[in-house]
Amino acid sequence: MNDYIILMLDDTAHPDAASSALWASYITSLRQGGLFDGGSSIGKGALYRKGAPADSASLDVTGYLRVRATNLDDAARFLVGNPHYEAGGGVEIRELPTN
């Protein structure tokens, strides 16, 4: 099993479509599957570079989930029922290497 992070991007046309009740149901189903290792919404931030003034964060990410899967395609199955994805929002899945 490999670890993956699912990043929800701030690009959905209908952000209100992902209600708290939908998220609660989705997270419950992930927990029951036993391959969910946490997640959170993500607030606004800033981009820092040495020797430069702080700037607006360049990646508009609104939340993340950490899951375990055999490969990238297997990790994509966690998108089924994801309220952000189902509302048309963009999602990136990245492997979290162990080394």
pLDDT digits (tens, 9 = 90+) for 2-36: 999 999 998 887 766 678 899 999 999 999 999 99
Q: Is 97 helix (H, G, I), strand (E, B) or coil?
A: coil
Q: How many residues does the chain have?
A: 99
> What pLDDT was estimated at residue 59?
80
**Considering only CA atoms, which of 5, 10, 18, 6 is closest in space to residue 57?**
10
> What pLDDT was estimated at residue 17?
67
| Domains with residue ranges and CATH for the chain | 2-96 (3.30.70.1060)
Pair of tokens at residue 50: 């040495």
Dihedral, CA of residue 54, residue 56, residue 60 and residue 64, to nearest 10: 30
pLDDT digits (tens, 9 = 90+) for 34-60: 999 999 999 889 999 999 999 988 788
